[in-house]
Amino acid sequence: MSMTRREFARLLGMAGAAGVLPATGFAAKKQPSDLYEIPKSGNVRLLHMTDCHAQLLPVYFREPNVNLGIGKAYGQAPHLVGDKLLNHFGISSGSLEAHAFTYLNFGDAASRYGKVGGFSHLKTLVDRLRQDYGSESTLLLDGGDTWQGSGTAFKTRGMDMVKATNELGVDVMTGHWEFTYHQEEILNNIKVFNGEFLANNVFVTEDALFDGADEYIFDEDSGHVFKPYSIKEIGGARIAVIGQAFPRTKIANPARFIPDWTFDIYDNEMQALVDKVRAEEKVDAVIVLSHNGMDVDLAMANRVSGIDVILGGHTHDGMPQPTTVKNATGQTLVCNVGSNGKFLGVMDLDIRDSKVQSYNYRLMPIFSEILPADPAMAKLIDDIRAPHMGWLTEELALADEVMFRRGNFNGTFDQLICNALMDVNNAQISLSPGFRWGTSVLEGQMITMEHVLDQTCLTYPETYVRPMKGSELKLILEDVADNIFNPEPYLQSGGDMVRVGGFDYICDPMQPIGKRISEMTLDNGERIDANKTYTVSGWATVGSQSEGPIIWDVVADHLRDKEVARIDKLNTPILKNVGNNPGIADYAKMES
């Protein structure tokens, strides 16, 4: 069953009357419309989602106020925050869209407009956008990070999300966190997945070929573990979709789960593949479904020519419009559609005479109060959650302020995690990874086990406590900082700066590796000594499995002791040389 437009309009009317919609801005300007109305254009509609991190239900998600661009990325999308982002894309402040795309006035706006995302709401929108356009002229593409990020994904080893994406009707996907299950589990999930799992940049190791990997891999001669691309005939056009999995998977995540596979970015091979599908498969358009991250996609779009559109993910950048990149033979559109199920990208292409003539793009926020739930999807989600409800719904403590993660440095929820590690594991210092997933909790809302799982749930959740010299600590901070702030995108790995507890530091992102971090100082004012040893606790070790308790139990233990979760001190660094950077706003600790 799907909704008619009239029903949508009626709901919008009701929503407006109930104060759900703003009186000004985007929705008001484009009245009488319906927020989700798109005039039909072109002959091919690509629906693009990415990085939902297994969020089946609607969530709150605060966009960053720190997302620095260094080098060529300075002041460019996606490294714009707050008003800078609104101005760049011509979005009025105070509008519903401004709330969707920025952190501005987050707490109030989130209470007013309600939660975002949720698969049953997304399903309603997807069905409508497909039916309006003619389903046979549409494709639904999922950029990955779909099977990880929730308690139910953890318990079912990603299978809950395979079922949900089947119900949603995903045609093509690629991956990153999918590779944090064991090889056999991944292959098994893909068998159950109704769409195609594509990756042109995942190869089998030669050692594994000796051990029988040829039995299951896609192409023994090329070494491709998965099908690299797929040809789709839709809307009278012939389209190649190439999958690009996250190239740094074995660096950013444990290699031990996927010992037989190897990942990278291969510009020459990508160029050869694009040339080949154009010459041999006679396609009218080439689309890359990518998990490179937006900075890497922008660089790749410049180095490789012949790609019409890169539908990108990984860096969780909700960009209202694509960036156009010029290259040797033409141009490539680079999109990125945020995270946590908050957005759906809609790319309508006019493809005629073997060429993309024009495009029309919209990034649609999924407002769950406006889009009704699809009953079949809602039922599936209920069934998935039912066995785990006792675990998920336990109330732990009241949030004293908005608890969030996303941003280059510690968010409030990160600080809770860091404090919990120091408290429960008796450590002087704590470290927590700068993941970009993790939902937000509003001030006055009860933090539940499910919220803690949203922030911590992965397949290597053990914590550690170990002695570490000041010099080692500095080395870790420098190394991670270089993964974000290296001006060369191919040398970045995505993710944000490691979160810290128990000490502060100064960070100068403009410096090279080894020179960004200085003046590491414990909360008691004592300077960290390179030769002195400290007790450090952390989690999510990629090298080998740690011995300590599971991170979500550590955080829950810490919160259960309190009625109210309060942040007394945020261990964010003092930043140097970024005062004028359009990728930072409302940040207190800055030195010029």
Write out the residues near other proteins by the rule CB under 8 A. 176-177, 206, 209-210, 214, 220-221, 223, 246, 248-253, 255, 262-265, 293, 314-316, 433-437, 475-476, 479-480, 482-483, 490-491, 493-496, 498, 513, 540-543
Provide, rounded to whole angstroms, the least separation between the CB of residue 253 and other proteins.
Answer: 5
Provide, rounded to whole angstroms, the least separation between the CB of residue 459 and other proteins.
Answer: 12
Provide, rounded to whole angstroms, the least separation between the CB of residue 249 and other proteins.
Answer: 7
Provide, rounded to whole angstroms, the least separation between the CB of residue 479 and other proteins.
Answer: 5
Provide, rounded to whole angstroms, the least separation between the CB of residue 297 and other proteins.
Answer: 13
Output 89 or 490, the one with its CB closest to other proteins.
490
Provide, rounded to whole angstroms, the least separation between the CB of residue 499 and other proteins.
Answer: 10
Integer angstrom CA distances of residue 457 from 154, 176, 342, 384, 470 = 7, 15, 19, 17, 29
- The percent of the chain in helix, strand and coil, each rounded to the nearest 5, is 35, 25, 40
Q: Compute, in degrees rounded to 10, the torsion defined by CA atoms 204, 207, 208, 211.
A: 150
Output 102 or 262, the one with its CB closest to other proteins.
262
Output 322 or 494, the one with its CB closest to other proteins.
494
Provide, rounded to whole angstroms, the least separation between the CB of residue 560 and other proteins.
Answer: 28
For the beta carbon of residue 563, count every other beta carbon within 10 angstroms.
Answer: 10
The single residue listed with the structure tokens 């003539």 is 357
Output 149 or 320, the one with its CB closest to other proteins.
149
For the beta carbon of residue 61, count every other beta carbon within 10 angstroms.
Answer: 29
Output 223 or 320, the one with its CB closest to other proteins.
223
Cis ω before 39 (30° cut-off from 0): no
Output 250 or 385, the one with its CB closest to other proteins.
250
Please classify residue 394 by burial: count the beta carbons closer than 10 Å to its beta carbon, then call 0-12 exposed, 13-18 middle and 19+ buried: middle
Output 43 or 546, the one with its CB closest to other proteins.
546
Look up residue 275 and give its amino acid: D
Please, which contacts does 222-227 make with residues 24 or more away whose CB atoms are closer than 8 Å?
A: 224/199, 224/200, 225/199, 225/261, 226/190, 226/197, 226/198, 226/199, 226/202, 227/196, 227/197, 227/198, 227/199
Output 235 or 313, the one with its CB closest to other proteins.
313
Provide, rounded to whole angstroms, the least separation between the CB of residue 225 and other proteins.
Answer: 13
For the beta carbon of residue 590, count every other beta carbon within 10 angstroms.
Answer: 14
Give SS3 for 367: strand
Read off the tokens for 501. Answer: 């507890």
